[in-house]
Amino acid sequence: MKSMRRMLVLGAMSAAIAMSFGVNAADKPTIKIGYVEGWDDSVATSNVAARIIEKKLGYPVQLVPVVAGVMWQGVARGDLDATLSAWLPVTHGNYYKNFQSKVVDLGPNFENAKIGLIVPANVDASSLADLNAKKAEFDSRIVGIDAGAGVMQKTGEAIKAYNLDYKLLPSSGSAMTTELARSQASNKPIIVTGWKPHWMFAKYKLKFLDDPKKVFGESEHVDNVIHPELEKKAPPVVAFLKKFKWNPGEIDDVMLRDAERCEADRRRRRVDRRARRPRGHLDQIRYARYA
């Protein structure tokens, strides 16, 4: 994660925005930014922005991992100062409708975002309307993420709208990508709930299924949303967030590198744990295996 932050901060996008603000060494309030745990784009955007706010503007930052509903409630109540993970107008549309009088939308940090159902590019299906004819191929299952996510709610609506004889399986963002990786390794078809930007589009050949009934809506934007008091609490931070925006293609590469780095770290930890096991324990495993 540190390498990812350093790369983006030194990038032209980050430098151009951040260098227009000065750093004051005086004591400053901590800025609390909520992000959606398990959403790689939310993690990447929040970490990059936090790094700039800390290093260039001089404000300490606390990143708070939450689920989407709690994130919106936190910003509306003032428990959180901001989120950079507001998917609008569809995915988080209900949250915005409920809280729009208590938050301020500073504008998008990412344009042309999208949610929907995703399949490998080589499968013989192009639309949600095709899926009932492909039940056996996909084992009548759709691998989802956390149950409260907007894309999960929309998938439930799509199942009804298209009268799909499929089961939606809640899991998590990481569990979904693990299932996707297994299907890619074994060349088996799979349907997952997903969104763009996401590193899986940089790693695998995937496609969104067409949605002729527009249940998932058109393209979206990911916005920076703050509690109104932040404008008094930290005006330079608000000024920065109004300008903070990804250039096309930047975030996918960042997320992929970070995902690969995290997977390498997990492998090293597994090897380390095995290496620390007592010799007798390993002998027992070998004996049990061949007895």
CATH superfamily of 115-208: Glycine betaine-binding periplasmic protein; domain 2 (3.40.190.100)
Decide if pLDDT at 230 tops 70: yes
Domain locations along the chain: 2-113+219-266, 115-208
Residue linked to tokens 């916005």: 223
pLDDT for the residue numbered 291: 39
* 108 HSE (CA, 13 A, CB side): 14
CATH number at 2-113+219-266? 3.40.190.10
Decide if pLDDT at 115 tops 90: yes
User: For residue 94, what are the CA distances in angstroms to 50, 67, 81, 264, 282?
Assistant: 27, 15, 20, 38, 53
Higher local confidence (pLDDT), 25 or 234: 234
- Range of lowest pLDDT (59-63, 194-198, 221-225): 194-198
Q: What is the pLDDT of residues 92-108, one digit of tens each?
A: 999 999 999 999 999 99
Pairing of strands 82-88, 220-226: antiparallel
Domain 2-113+219-266 and domain 115-208, same fold? Reply is: yes
**Contact criterion met (CB below 8 Å) for 252 and 8:** no
pLDDT for the residue numbered 38: 76
pTM: 0.69
